[in-house]
Copies of this chain bind each other. A is one copy, B any other.
């Protein structure tokens, strides 16, 4: 019997205002990395009632996305999609969005 292979899903798509861009850095392997802060605010439906969702999310950019982010500045509206992962082994409760796409929200 073929062992059930589950395709794990972990996709977050979130929009908001670019609040802050931390300085980019380059890993020993020569890959560019940069963290940015995204300020999100929306109305969401939960158990039939509209409620507000408001958060500041750390978004991690790597590779080409770091170059792409140079075109943006704080205050711009952006839309990011990617996967969630812990900030680090020590800070496992803090979740970070690892971006796979980064676009302006016109």
Contacts and interface: CB of A to CB of B under 8 A. Distances in A.
Interface of A: 6-16, 31, 40-49, 53-57, 62-65, 77, 79, 83-86, 92-95, 98, 100, 105
A8 B55 CA distance: 13
B79 A40 contact: no
Nearest to A43: B8
Contacts of A10: 13-15, 40, 42, 44, 53
A10 B6 CA distance: 25
Contacts of A94: 93-94
Nearest to A83: B44
A9 B55 contact: no
